[in-house]
Structure 1
Amino acid sequence: MTKHKFGGPWTRLKLAILRDYLGFFTRALGKTPFNLYYADAFAGTGKQSFDDESGQGAFFEHEDMEGSARIALNIEPAFDGYYFNDLAKPHYEALKELLKEYPEKEPITRITNLDGNDFVKQFCASLRSNDRAILFIDPYNTELNWETLTYVAGSNRIDLWLLFPISALLRMTPTDSERLDPALVKTIDRLLGTDKWQEALYKPKPEPVHDDLFGEVENEGMERLNVQEVSDFVKSRLEEQFAYVAKPATLYNNGRPLFLFMFAVSNSSRTAQKLAEKVSTQILRKHQNAR
């Protein structure tokens, strides 16, 4: 079987949070008239493999763990349908092999080999009024277009778990605005869904640089907001689209922020929002406190 070697200790946290919410979702809605679906835009292979630094020096402990697709297939009560997608052909083939372990679920599972953005749009368009879904978007880097999320928000039927690449955004937006690479501007526009991010993420440098001809102190140059402020901006962008957005869990690698694990609710029902808010907050707090 093709190995999906990607991740680190933060992967455990991400998948533990996802597992708990999937279990809540099918238990809470299992006896309702709704059809319940799980969709995974970057599903991998069903297994994640990574080297976990352990002990001293350069010793690494190899670890294999269930990936998101296998976790979803194992959840009880079960979903009414599953949608797995990955653009990488070896991952697509591995997902088909994985499904053979669950013959009873083959008739209700669709596996596709699409661009993640196209998959999300097609999945959102397929949902009907009696459907409810969890969508897991776990891109490898900056593959997700923010515009794709507007389809999710407009569905009114999806609870979204999104892994946002905060480390990539920080890397592309250097602290000093003068070091910003013009070649990356379009990528950042696409990632954040706006060309106004420079106004939001950069502020004048606080320290005076020199006196002008009239003896007045001037500030020159712009500097980027700190990590927390950048994260807050990303959350605010999601809040412009979704009815409810939880405080994200920041996933770290060697002490550096790598991803924001974000939860958002598209359902316009205040009752549904309050329940999702209560449970997601409990789950996020539980796992972050256990780190």
Structure 2
Amino acid sequence: MTPKQPNSDTKHHQFGGQWTIRKLTVLAGYLQSYTTALKDKPTAESPFRKAFIDAFAGSGYRDVRHDADNSHESQSLLFPDLAGDEPQALLDGSAKLALQTEPPFDRYIFIDRSPARCARLEELKSEFPDRADRIDIQQGDANEKIQDLCETDWRSHRAVLFLDPYGMQVEWKSIEAVARTQAIDLWLLFPLGIGVNRLLTRSGDIPDSWRQRLNLLLGTQDWYDEFYRIETTPTLFGTEQERVVKASMETIGRYFNHRLKQIFAGVIEEPGVLRSSLNNPLYLLCFAVGNVRGKPVALRIAEHLLKEVR
């Protein structure tokens, strides 16, 4: 069965255009392959209970505005020209694609901070009545909810987690919690061009609030030495001139992917790149496998799907 393609109506996808459609197409393909591959696993008598978790199920846009309202991030992480109809695009995208997946998941967990968007997500229960009792809407902070979910016993459960924040809300400690379950496959949009690269100033002088945001996302303070170096060149007068050289976006992306490799069973070597209409990198579409036994199949499927997003 061909996976259902995301609705490409321009009214619903004004925010991201083609890159939004591409990320959802990859997700739809993986979800169908995932539930098919795990059907009757490990045994037909006692199969895994499978869940789809969307931690930013409505939209991250208003969350970023709220969190960064009184900081430098309000200028660096909010891009009204990209905003458009993103809440509807995501609602009509990831949540509905998961609910349309065959074979179905046993549980659908949709998380959002906004009570209003959670109310909209509740409407999915009437739209998908045969799966209404499997839908769990959780209103709250995505990082807190993810970490709470990961603390439960995962031995008889498996899941796909979709982390698609608008900005830089995801914290590394949440990603670590996911990896510790050894049961969750992770699709993550890493805010390469739209977030991290914008906070890394050319001079290397980074405001404390930006440093803290990068520390939370990357889970370490060591990133500074990885992303900046001092280059020394001799002058005509026998002295040396020093200048700060900032890392390329390729270097930043490799650094984050290496961080994922340190904690997950398997990670796609070359993430997808989601670009703007001007061909500028906005996000990396990263994939990490939670379980060692599922690693070969999961990586093979993800690699095939990501070929169209590089």
Normalised to the residue count of structure 1, the TM-score between the two structures is 0.84
Within-5 A mapping of 1:89-104? 89-104=115-130
Compute the displacement of 1:288 (Å): 2.5
Task: Specify the alignment match of 2:167 in structure 1.
Answer: 141
Compute the displacement of 1:280 (Å): 0.7
> Aligned-pair RMSD on alpha carbons?
2.3
> 1:261-281, CA deviations, whole angstroms, 9 ceiling, x for partnerless residues?
100012133xx1111111110
Task: Specify the alignment match of 2:246 in structure 1.
Answer: 224
Within-5 A mapping of 1:195-274? 195-205=221-231, 208=233, 210=235, 215=238, 218-246=240-268, 247-253=270-276, 254-269=278-293, 272-274=294-296
CA–CA distance in structure 1, aligned partners of residues 36 and 145 of structure 2:
27
Match status 1:38 vs 2:52? yes
Task: Specify the alignment match of 2:305 in structure 1.
Answer: 283
In structure 1, stretches of 5+ residues that fail to align are 46-60
In structure 2, stretches of 5+ residues that fail to align are 1-11, 42-46, 60-83
Task: Specify the alignment match of 1:115 in structure 2.
Answer: 141
Normalised to the residue count of structure 2, the TM-score between the two structures is 0.80
> 1:35-62, CA deviations, whole angstroms, 9 ceiling, x for partnerless residues?
11111100117xxxxxxxxxxxxxxx99
CA–CA distance in structure 1, aligned partners of residues 152 and 17 of structure 2:
34
Q: Secondary structure in 1 aligned to 2:113? A: coil
CA–CA distance in structure 2, aligned partners of residues 183 and 74 of structure 1:
41
Partner letter of residue 255 of structure 1?
A: N
CA–CA distance in structure 2, aligned partners of residues 10 and 282 of structure 1:
17
Match status 1:184 vs 2:191? no
Compute the displacement of 1:127 (Å): 4.4
**Residues 62/123 of structure 1: CA separation in 2 closer, same or farther (3 Å cut):** closer
Partner letter of residue 272 of structure 2?
A: A
CA–CA distance in structure 1, aligned partners of residues 225 and 117 of structure 2:
39
Compute the displacement of 1:102 (Å): 1.1
CA–CA distance in structure 1, aligned partners of residues 85 and 184 of structure 2:
35
Compute the displacement of 1:7 (Å): 2.7
Count of residue pairs the alignment pairs up: 265
Task: Specify the alignment match of 1:17 in structure 2.
Answer: 26
Compute the displacement of 1:209 (Å): 5.7
Q: Identity of counterpart residues, as a percentage?
A: 33
Q: Secondary structure in 2 aligned to 1:67? A: helix
Q: Does structure 1 retain, via aligned residues, the 8 Å contact 2:273–2:281?
A: yes
Choose between structure 1 and 2: higher strand proportion. 1
Q: Does structure 1 retain, via aligned residues, the 8 Å contact 2:234–2:241?
A: yes
